[in-house]
C-alpha cells in the first residue's frame, strides 16, 4: 500500500530525513518511535505534503502512485489522512461545515456525487458517537477554544468521517489524560480493518497499550535504525533511547 | 468618457449661481441660505489635496478631473432593476436614480400616518420649516469640502421622521442607482433621519451603478438618535469599476441610545466613507463594523470618529479588509474622549488580509483622551492568509482555492453576522461568496 524508498527531506537547507525506507501493507499498524528531534513529525508532514519541507531524494508510492507529485488535497483524496500534533484553530468555520466541504471535495475528486445535507448529517452523527464527540462541538468554530483532548478527539472524528486508507497519527497522545487517550484509541481501533493501515508516530509507549502495533520502528537522526515487533516498544519504555543511540554510534 | 482636464470647482460654483438665479422668492428662504453657506464653505476649502491631513492617502485628483452631469435624466425601469439582481424583500424601499427620488419604483409599507418616510424634496414642499430646521444641523461645523458641496447642492434624498415610542417593523432600504449608461453622472443625495425617543428602526443605504461611464456620488446622511432609541444603519456599496463615491454619515446620539453601523464596500473605483458619531449622551453605545474588498486598482478609505462627550458611554469598532491586486485601503479611526466623558469605554480594531505584494493598506488609529478614568484600546493587524490553517484544510481534501474562500469568508463572518436586516445579510453573503470564488 505504502512504500517509502530512500526518502530524504530538508527544511531551510537542513537535512532532516536522511534516507527512510518503510513498507506498509493493508491492515497493518506501524509505530514510529524515537527521541525528540529524530524526524518523526517531519516524516508525517512530508507524507501529508507540508510545503515547507523540500524533498531532496527518494520516492513514496501509495497504491501505485508517486504521491510526492500530488498536492496535499490530492493526497487526502487518494486516502491519506494526517492527524495533527497541533490541530489548527480556524475561527469562523464550523467543524460541520468544514467537514462537509472536505467530504464533498473528496467525492468530487473521485467522481462521486456530493452527499446532500441529510445524508451527510446522518453519517456525521454516527461517526461522532464513535469518539463521543458532542453535537455542540460540531457547531462551534473548528478547534477554536477546544481543550487539548477535544482537539485530538476532533482529529479522530474527522478521520472517522473521511475513512482514509492510510491514517498517520502524529503524536496524537501528547497532552491527553488517560480517559481522553482511551477514547481516542477506541476511535482509532474501531476504524481498523484489513483494507486500512495506520502509522502511529509517538514518543512514548503509552498509546501503544491501546493501539497495538504490528511493527515498531525507531527513528534516529533521520533514519530508521531499528525495527521489530511490538515488544520493541516495551523495551524502549523500559530502557529509554540511549542504548539505541549507543548502538548507532558504535556502528556509525 | 471625456479625458479633457477641467476645473470642476469653478464649474460647480458657476452652476450654483445659475440655479440660484431662477429660484425667485425661494432664494431668501432659510433652506437656501444654508445652501449658500455650504457653497461659501466649499469655495473656501476647495477640493482637498494629499497635503490635507485627512486626505493624505486618498487622492481625489482623478475624481475631479472630469465633469459630471448632475441633472441627468434616466429611463430606468423594472427591467434594469432585474439586471442589478436586487433582492426582493418585505421592506420600505425607496429608489433614488441619479440622486432623485423615483416614486414609481418605490414601495412604502410602514404606516405613514405614524412615521414620515418620504423624499426630501417632497418633505420640504410639505413642511419647509421642519426640513429646514433639520437640514445640515449635524454637519454645520464640518470642515469638509465634500460635505459643504453636498449642502450647497442638496435637492433630494430621504427624509425620515420617527416620533417617540415607535417600533418600525419593516426595515427602510434606500437604493441609490447611478445610471451611467450614457454619460458621466453625478449625484449629491442628502438624507435626514430623525429617530424619536425609545423608537427602533433598521435602515440601509445601497449604492449601485448601471453602465460603464463614470459616476460620482457625494452623499451626506444625518442621523439624530434620541434618548433610548435603537438604530441599525447599514451602508452597502456595490458600484461599478468606474464609480467614485464620497460619503459622510454624521450621527448624534443622546442618553441611553444605541447605534449600530455596518459599512460594506464590495466594489467601486474610489470610495471614501466618513462615519462620524458624536456620543452626546450618557450610557449610550455606538457600534461600527466595516468590511471592504478592493481589487484591481480600487481604492477604499474609511475614516471614522467616535466622539465621547458625556460620561459612561461605550464605542466599539471592528473594520476588516481583504485587499487584492494593486488595490489600496485606508483606515483612520479617531476616538475622542472629552474632559466630561469619564468612565468611557472605547475599543477599536482593524484587521486586514493583503493577498498581493502590490496591494497596500494604511491604518491609523488616533486617540485623543482628555479624561482620566477611561478604558480605551486599539489594534490593527495586516497580514497574509494563515498558511498553517490553509495546510490543515488541504490535508482534509479541500482544494487550495476552496480553502482560501472558506478562510476569507470566515474572516468576514464576524462583520457580516452583525447585519441585522436578513435580506441585506443574505445579499452580502451571496455577493461575498461569489467574489471570493472568482479569484
B204-261 per-position pLDDT tens digit: 999 999 999 999 999 999 999 999 999 999 999 999 999 999 999 999 999 999 999 9
pLDDT for B108 equals 95
Mean pLDDT on A213-221: 94
The residue in chain B having the minimum alpha-carbon distance to the alpha carbon of residue A158 is: B396
Residue B1: is its pLDDT beyond 60?
no
The residue in chain B having the minimum alpha-carbon distance to the alpha carbon of residue A92 is: B410
The rounded distance, in Å, linking the Cα atoms of B84 and A157 is 44
The rounded distance, in Å, linking the Cα atoms of B160 and B108 is 12
Q: Can you tell me which residue has the cell 486618498? A: B58
B103-129 per-position pLDDT tens digit: 999 999 999 889 999 999 999 999 999
pLDDT for B129 equals 96
Per CB-CB distance under 8 Å, the chain A contacts of B437 are none
Shortest Cα distance from A74 to chain B (angstroms)? 6
Q: Which residues pair with B236 in a beta bridge?
A: B206, B264
Mapping DSSP to helix (H, G, I), strand (E, B) and coil, where does residue A112 land? Answer: coil
A91 contacts B396? CB cut-off 8 A: no
A48 contacts B396? CB cut-off 8 A: no
B398 contacts A77? CB cut-off 8 A: no
The residue in chain A having the minimum alpha-carbon distance to the alpha carbon of residue B386 is: A90
Mapping DSSP to helix (H, G, I), strand (E, B) and coil, where does residue B392 land? Answer: helix
A90 contacts B393? CB cut-off 8 A: yes
Residue B439: is its pLDDT beyond 60?
no
Q: Which residues pair with A72 in a beta bridge?
A: none
Domains of chain A, residue spans: 2-251
Confidence class of residue A238 from pLDDT cuts 50, 70 and 90?
A: confident
Shortest Cα distance from B352 to chain A (angstroms)? 15
Burial readout B346-370 (b: 16 or more C-beta within 10 A, e: otherwise): bbbbbbbbbbeeebebbbebebebe
Residue B2: is its pLDDT beyond 60?
no
Q: How far is CA B2 from CA B50, B72, B184, B211, B270, in A?
A: 24, 16, 9, 15, 18
Judged on CB neighbours under 10 Å (0-12, 13-18, 19+), A210 is: middle
**Residue B12: CB partners within 8 Å, gap ≥ 6?**
B42, B149, B152, B153
Question: Is the CB of A111 inside 8 Å of chain B's CB atoms?
Answer: no
Domain A2-251 has CATH 1.10.540.10: no
* Closest to A196 measured CA to CA, from A83, A64, A28, A3: A28
A73 contacts B389? CB cut-off 8 A: no
Shortest Cα distance from B406 to chain A (angstroms)? 7
The rounded distance, in Å, linking the Cα atoms of B369 and B406 is 39
**Residue B332: CB partners within 8 Å, gap ≥ 6?**
B54, B301, B302, B303, B304, B363, B364, B366
Shortest Cα distance from B414 to chain A (angstroms)? 7
Contact residues, A window 127-186, toward B, CB-based 8 Å cutoff:
141, 158, 162
Of B402, B407, B413, the CB nearest to A105: B402
Question: Is the CB of A77 inside 8 Å of chain B's CB atoms?
Answer: yes
Question: Using alpha carbons only, how large is chain A's radius of gyration in Å?
Answer: 18
The rounded distance, in Å, linking the Cα atoms of B74 and B159 is 22
Shortest Cα distance from A162 to chain B (angstroms)? 8
Are B151 and B143 a contacting pair, CB within 8 Å?
no
pLDDT for B436 equals 84
Residue A72: is its pLDDT beyond 80?
yes
Which of A100-114, A167-181, B201-215 is least confident? Answer: A167-181
Are B99 and B156 a contacting pair, CB within 8 Å?
yes
Question: Using alpha carbons only, how large is chain B's radius of gyration in Å?
Answer: 21
A87 contacts B392? CB cut-off 8 A: yes
Which of A223-232, B24-33, B76-85 is least confident? Answer: B76-85
B414 contacts A76? CB cut-off 8 A: no
* Closest to B69 measured CA to CA, from B173, B175, B215: B215
Helices (H) and strands (E) in chain A, counts: 9, 12
Which of A116-125, B271-280, B298-307, B329-338 is least confident? Answer: A116-125
Burial readout B284-318 (b: 16 or more C-beta within 10 A, e: otherwise): bbbbbbbbbbbbeebbbbbbbbbbbbbbbbbbbbb
Q: Is the ipTM of this complex over 0.85?
A: yes
A50 contacts B391? CB cut-off 8 A: yes
Helix (H) or strand (E) holding B394: helix B387-394
Question: Residue B283 has which C-alpha cell?
Answer: 450610557
CA angle B175, B330, B286 (to 5 degrees): 60
Per CB-CB distance under 8 Å, the chain B contacts of A88 are 386, 388-389, 391-392
Average pLDDT over chain A reads: 92
Question: B interface toward A at CB cutoff 8 Å?
Answer: 386, 388-389, 391-400, 402-403, 406-407, 409-411, 413-414
Question: Residue A85 has which C-alpha cell?
Answer: 500534533
CA angle B147, B149, B154 (to 5 degrees): 90
The rounded distance, in Å, linking the Cα atoms of B159 and B189 is 11
Q: How many residue pairs from chains A and B have C-beta atoms closer than 8 A?
A: 76
* Closest to A117 measured CA to CA, from A132, A91, A99: A99
The residue in chain B having the minimum alpha-carbon distance to the alpha carbon of residue A94 is: B410
Q: Can you tell me which residue has the cell 445652501? A: B35
B230-244 per-position pLDDT tens digit: 999 999 999 999 999
According to DSSP, residue A67 is labeled: G
Mean pLDDT on B95-102: 96
Which of A126-130, B54-58, B279-283, B421-425 is least confident? Answer: A126-130
Q: Can you tell me which residue has the cell 427624509? A: B159
Question: Residue B238 has which C-alpha cell?
Answer: 456595490
B119-160 per-position pLDDT tens digit: 999 999 999 999 999 999 999 999 999 999 999 999 999 999
Percentage of chain B beyond pLDDT 70 is 98
Judged on CB neighbours under 10 Å (0-12, 13-18, 19+), B209 is: buried
The rounded distance, in Å, linking the Cα atoms of B274 and B388 is 36
Average pLDDT over chain B reads: 94
B333-362 per-position pLDDT tens digit: 999 999 999 999 999 999 999 999 999 999
The rounded distance, in Å, linking the Cα atoms of B66 and A2 is 67
B406 contacts A101? CB cut-off 8 A: yes
Are A55 and A14 a contacting pair, CB within 8 Å?
no
Per CB-CB distance under 8 Å, the chain B contacts of A105 are 397-399, 402
The rounded distance, in Å, linking the Cα atoms of B389 and B384 is 12
Q: How far is CA B262 from CA A108, B191, B367, B409, in A?
A: 37, 17, 21, 17
Percentage of chain B beyond pLDDT 90 is 87
In a mutagenesis test of the B interface, which of A75, A93, A142 is the best target, namely the one with the most B β-carbons within 10 Å?
A: A93
pLDDT for B3 equals 47
pLDDT for B6 equals 73
Other beta carbons within 10 Å of A223:
17
Per CB-CB distance under 8 Å, the chain B contacts of A106 are 397
Judging by DSSP bridges, how do beta strands B200-210 and B172-179 pair with one another? parallel
Other beta carbons within 10 Å of A218:
26
Contact residues, A window 11-50, toward B, CB-based 8 Å cutoff:
48-50
Q: Can you tell me which residue has the cell 461659501? A: B40
B393 contacts A92? CB cut-off 8 A: no
Of B386, B392, B397, the CB nearest to A106: B397
Are B337 and B368 a contacting pair, CB within 8 Å?
yes
Confidence class of residue A215 from pLDDT cuts 50, 70 and 90?
A: very high
Of A84, A91, A92, the CB nearest to B392: A84
Per CB-CB distance under 8 Å, the chain A contacts of B407 are 90, 93
A107-147 per-position pLDDT tens digit: 999 999 999 999 999 999 999 988 888 888 888 999 999 98
The residue in chain B having the minimum alpha-carbon distance to the alpha carbon of residue A155 is: B396
Q: Which residues pair with A140 in a beta bridge?
A: none
Helix (H) or strand (E) holding B438: none
B20-59 per-position pLDDT tens digit: 998 888 889 999 999 999 999 999 999 999 999 999 999 9
Amino acid at each position: 500500500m505504502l512504500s517509502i524508498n530512500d526518502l530524504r527531506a530538508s527544511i531551510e537547507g537542513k537535512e532532516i530525513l536522511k534516507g527512510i525506507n518503510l513498507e506498509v501493507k493493508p491492515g497493518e499498524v506501524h509505530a514510529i518511535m524515537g527521541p525528540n528531534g529524530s524526524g518523526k513529525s517531519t516524516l508525517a508532514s512530508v507524507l501529508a505534503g507540508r510545503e515547507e519541507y523540500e524533498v531532496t531524494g527518494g520516492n513514496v508510492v501509495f497504491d501505485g502512485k508517486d504521491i510526492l507529485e500530488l498536492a496535499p488535497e490530492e493526497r487526502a483524496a487518494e486516502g491519506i489522512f494526517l492527524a495533527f500534533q497541533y490541530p489548527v484553530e480556524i475561527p469562523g468555520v464550523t467543524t460541520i461545515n468544514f467537514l462537509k466541504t472536505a467530504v464533498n471535495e473528496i467525492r468530487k475528486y473521485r467522481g462521486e456525487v456530493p452527499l446532500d445535507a441529510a445524508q451527510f448529517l446522518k453519517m456525521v452523527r454516527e461517526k461522532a458517537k464513535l469518539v463521543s464527540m458532542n453535537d455542540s462541538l460540531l457547531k462551534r468554530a473548528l478547534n477554536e477554544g477546544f481543550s487539548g483532548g477535544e482537539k485530538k478527539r476532533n482529529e479522530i472524528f474527522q478521520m472517522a468521517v473521511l475513512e482514509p486508507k492510510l491514517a498517520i497519527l502524529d503524536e496524537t497522545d501528547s497532552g491527553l489524560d488517560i480517559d481522553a487517550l482511551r477514547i481516542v484509541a477506541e476511535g482509532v481501533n474501531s476504524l481498523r480493518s484489513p483494507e486500512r493501515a495506520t502509522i502511529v508516530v509517538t514518543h512514548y509507549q503509552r498509546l501503544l497499550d491501546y493501539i497495538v502495533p504490528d511493527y515498531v520502528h525507531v527513528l534516529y537522526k533521520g533514519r530508521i535504525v531499528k525495527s521489530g515487533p511490538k515488544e520493541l516498544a516495551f523495551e524502549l519504555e523500559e530502557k529509554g533511547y540511549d542504548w539505541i543511540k549507543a548502538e548507532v554510534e558504535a556502528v556509525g | 468618457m471625456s479625458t479633457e482636464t477641467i476645473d470642476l470647482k469653478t464649474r460647480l460654483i458657476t452652476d450654483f449661481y445659475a440655479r440660484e438665479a431662477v429660484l425667485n422668492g425661494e432664494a431668501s428662504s432659510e433652506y437656501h441660505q444654508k445652501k449658500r453657506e455650504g457653497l461659501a464653505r466649499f469655495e473656501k476649502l476647495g477640493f482637498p489635496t494629499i497635503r490635507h491631513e485627512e486626505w493624505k492617502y486618498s487622492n481625489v485628483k482623478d475624481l475631479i478631473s472630469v465633469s459630471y452631469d448632475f441633472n441627468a435624466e434616466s429611463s430606468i425601469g423594472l427591467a434594469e432593476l432585474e439586471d442589478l439582481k436586487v433582492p426582493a424583500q418585505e421592506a420600505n424601499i425607496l429608489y433614488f436614480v441619479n440622486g432623485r427620488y423615483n416614486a414609481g419604483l418605490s414601495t412604502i409599507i410602514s404606516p405613514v400616518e405614524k412615521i414620515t418616510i418620504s423624499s426630501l424634496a417632497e418633505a420640504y414642499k410639505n413642511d419647509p420649516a421642519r426640513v429646514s430646521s433639520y437640514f445640515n444641523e449635524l454637519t454645520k461645523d464640518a470642515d469638509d469640502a465634500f460635505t459643504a458641496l453636498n449642502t450647497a447642492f442638496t435637492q433630494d434624498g430621504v427624509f425620515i421622521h420617527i416620533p417617540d415610542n415607535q417600533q418600525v417593523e419593516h426595515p427602510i432600504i434606500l437604493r441609490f442607482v447611478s445610471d451611467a449608461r450614457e454619460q458621466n453622472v453625478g449625484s449629491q443625495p442628502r438624507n435626514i433621519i430623525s429617530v424619536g425617543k425609545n423608537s427602533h428602526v433598521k435602515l440601509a443605504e445601497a449604492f449601485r451603478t448601471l453602465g460603464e461611464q463614470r459616476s460620482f456620488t457625494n452623499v451626506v446622511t444625518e442621523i439624530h438618535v434620541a434618548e433610548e432609541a435603537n438604530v441599525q444603519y447599514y451602508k452597502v456599496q456595490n458600484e461599478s469599476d468606474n464609480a467614485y463615491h464620497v460619503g459622510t454619515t454624521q450621527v448624534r446620539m443622546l442618553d441611553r441610545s444605541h447605534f449600530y453601523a455596518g459599512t460594506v464596500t464590495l466594489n467601486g473605483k474610489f470610495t471614501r466613507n466618513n462615519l462620524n458619531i458624536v456620543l452626546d449622551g450618557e450610557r449610550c453605545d455606538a457600534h461600527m463594523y466595516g468590511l471592504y474588498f478592493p481589487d484591481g486598482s480600487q481604492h477604499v478609505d474609511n475614516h471614522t470618529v467616535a466622539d465621547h462627550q458625556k460620561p459612561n458611554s461605550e464605542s466599539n469598532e471592528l473594520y476588516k479588509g481583504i485587499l487584492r491586486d494593486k488595490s489600496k485601503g485606508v483606515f483612520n479611526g479617531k476616538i475622542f474622549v472629552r474632559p466630561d466623558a469619564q468612565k468611557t469605554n472605547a475599543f477599536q480594531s482593524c484587521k486586514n488580509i493583503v493577498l498581493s505584494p502590490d496591494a497596500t493598506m494604511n491604518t491609523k488609529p488616533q486617540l485623543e483622551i482628555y479624561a482620566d478614568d477611561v478604558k480605551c484600546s486599539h489594534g490593527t493587524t495586516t497580514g497574509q492568509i494563515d498558511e498553517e490553517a490553509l495546510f490543515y484544510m488541504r490535508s482534509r481534501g479541500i482544494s487550495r482555492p476552496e480553502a482560501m474562500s472558506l478562510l476569507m469568508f470566515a474572516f468576514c463572518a464576524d462583520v457580516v453576522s452583525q447585519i441585522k436586516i436578513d435580506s441585506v445579510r443574505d445579499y452580502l453573503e451571496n455577493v461575498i461568496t461569489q467574489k471570493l470564488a472568482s479569484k
